[in-house]
Chains A and B, each alone.
Chain A
Amino acid sequence: MKLDFHVILVQLPWLLRGAELTLSVSLLGIAFGTLVGVALALALQSAIRPLVYLVRFYISFIRGTPLFIQILIVFFILPSVGIDISRFTSGVVALSLNSGAYISEMIRGGLTSIARGQIEAGRALGMRRSLIWRRIVLPQVFTVILPPLTVEFASLLKYSALLSVIGVVELTRTAQQIIAATFKPIEIWVTVGVLYFIMCFSLGMLTRRIERATAVYRLN
């Protein structure tokens, strides 16, 4: 088996551009996913029972079905209800809806690390519920869940490869286009693998650094 290294060098700039889109789609996914996660976690605390059941149903559905299928459902359902958005936006929506469910579970776990007394103290001081969440609960929860959040980001970065199926021209889709023109699948796929590896591995190292830096907040 002879590898053609020249094609890798020639195509690398295009692959890097694809990697840039992979990074941005997963960054947007984790950012909006965090918002979705907070909203879901808040809804789970709600006194309205049907809302709680609905959110539990949603989380269970997201966790029980493949992201691949979720991406396709979002991609096909939005136009059919009259929402016309780009493939990229559709991809971001799918990733956010998916990671939101997982992040809400992290937040739920993080909430248990906060002593009830803190919330009661906030109440006693006359703080409103929203203010308690904003000033007391969420900052602490986010310090605790920051390491798993970076793990989720790395996971989203890997799974964003599935967006190639709906035609988002991220790293994997770029590779498919290059292969269609050059017929060098092995060279290109291995390079793509290396690029993903570099991104995910660096994120893994970042996670370990954050873990060490925030360890002091997780001692109680």
Chain B
Amino acid sequence: MTFDVAVFTFGLPILLKGLVNTILFCAVAIVFGLFIASLIALCRLSRRWFLRLPALWFVEFFRNTPFLVQAFILFFAFPRLGIRIEATVAGIMVLSLYAGAYFSESIRGAILSVPKGQIEAARALGMPYLRAMRRIVLPQSLGYLLPATTNQIIGVIKDSAALSVITVPELSMAAQVVLGESFSPVETYIMVALLYWALTAGVAALMAHVETRAAARVASPTLARVGMAGKSQ
């Protein structure tokens, strides 16, 4: 096996452009995903069955089918409904929904990790439900929420690679462009893997930083422990 070095010099700019797109698409999907997830989590904790059940089905569908198949269903559903849609838009949509389903589980767990009496007390003091969630529940559950979200963000970045199959121009798609010019698949895909690795490691480091910052600013029993552990090392 000979290693083709030339592909590095000419392939890298194309791949870096793909990496930027991957970061962009994932960032958008994560923002939308967190929004969807908050709604779904609140619906799943609702007493009303017509909120609870659809939210449950939504989560179960996205967690029990392959992301690739979800992408295909969405990608082909729009033309069938007579709506023309770009692959990139369809890709970001399916990634947002997918992320939303997974995020919602950790948000639900985080909400449940705070004793129910606290929210009841806040409500009794006249605080609206959503403000009680933001002021009382959220700060206390951050120690649970942040590590779980970090893992899921990394998962979203990794799974977004499959979007190249529906021709979304992200990093994996860029690899195919490079391969079209010079056939050195091993070198190209190793380069792509290294770029993904750098990205996920970067996100992990960033989120660890956010966690320590949050621990310093928010009074959370779970986060305080994380912060202490960080200091003693």
A197 close to B (CB within 8 Å):
yes
Min CB–CB distance A196 → chain B (angstroms)? 5
- CB atoms of B66 and A65 under 8 A apart: no
Nearest A residue to B154 via CB reads: A64
Partner of A69, one of B64, B69, B196: B196
**A164 to B69 Cα, complex, angstroms:** 11
**A193 to B160 Cα, complex, angstroms:** 19
Collect the chain A residues with CB atoms within 8 Å of residue B161's CB: 66, 68-69
Mark out the residues of chain A between 38 and 61 whose CB falls within 8 Å of any chain B CB in the assembled complex.
60-61
A81 close to B (CB within 8 Å):
yes
Collect the chain A residues with CB atoms within 8 Å of residue B157's CB: 66
A76 close to B (CB within 8 Å):
yes
A158 close to B (CB within 8 Å):
yes
B68 close to A (CB within 8 Å):
yes
A70 close to B (CB within 8 Å):
yes
Mark out the residues of chain A between 113 and 151 whose CB falls within 8 Å of any chain B CB in the assembled complex.
none
**A69 to B200 Cα, complex, angstroms:** 14
- If over half of A's interface residues share one DSSP class (helix, strand or loop), that class is named, otherwise mixed; here it is helix
B206 close to A (CB within 8 Å):
no
- Total interface residues on A, CB under 8 Å, equals 38
Min CB–CB distance B156 → chain A (angstroms)? 11
Collect the chain A residues with CB atoms within 8 Å of residue B70's CB: 193
Collect the chain A residues with CB atoms within 8 Å of residue B1's CB: 77, 80-82
Collect the chain B residues with CB atoms within 8 Å of residue A185's CB: 72, 76, 80
A67 close to B (CB within 8 Å):
yes
- CB atoms of A73 and B66 under 8 A apart: no
- If over half of B's interface residues share one DSSP class (helix, strand or loop), that class is named, otherwise mixed; here it is helix
Number of A-B contacts (CB under 8 A): 105
Assuming A73-B189, A158-B65, A200-B64, is B162 touching A68 (CB within 8 A)?
yes
- CB atoms of A196 and B200 under 8 A apart: no
Mark out the residues of chain B between 140 and 196 whose CB falls within 8 Å of any chain A CB in the assembled complex.
154, 157-162, 164-165, 172, 175, 185-186, 189-190, 192-193, 196
B197 close to A (CB within 8 Å):
yes
Collect the chain B residues with CB atoms within 8 Å of residue A1's CB: 80-81
Partner of A73, one of B60, B72, B162, B190: B190
A31 close to B (CB within 8 Å):
no
- CB atoms of A72 and B185 under 8 A apart: yes
Nearest A residue to B2 via CB reads: A80
Nearest A residue to B70 via CB reads: A193
Nearest A residue to B82 via CB reads: A1
**A201 to B59 Cα, complex, angstroms:** 12
**A193 to B94 Cα, complex, angstroms:** 14
- CB atoms of A69 and B193 under 8 A apart: yes
B201 close to A (CB within 8 Å):
yes
- CB atoms of A196 and B65 under 8 A apart: yes
Q: Which residues of A contact B (CB under 8 A)?
A: 1, 60-61, 64-70, 72-73, 76-77, 80-82, 154, 158-162, 164-165, 172, 175, 185-186, 189-190, 192-193, 196-197, 200-201, 204
Since A66-B193, A172-B69, A200-B64 are in contact, a sample of 19 more A-B pairs with Cβ atoms closer than 8 Å, ordered by chain A residue number, is A61-B193, A65-B193, A66-B159, A68-B162, A70-B193, A72-B185, A161-B67, A161-B68, A162-B162, A185-B72, A185-B76, A189-B69, A190-B73, A193-B61, A193-B70, A197-B64, A201-B60, A201-B64, A204-B64
The 6 A-B residue pairs with the shortest CB-CB distance in the complex, in nearest-first order: A161-B66, A66-B161, A185-B76, A200-B64, A76-B185, A68-B161
A-B contact pairs, 28 of them (CB 8 A): A1-B81, A61-B193, A65-B196, A66-B160, A69-B172, A69-B175, A69-B192, A73-B186, A73-B190, A76-B185, A76-B189, A80-B186, A158-B67, A161-B66, A161-B67, A161-B68, A162-B68, A162-B162, A186-B73, A186-B77, A186-B80, A189-B72, A189-B73, A193-B61, A193-B69, A196-B66, A197-B60, A197-B64
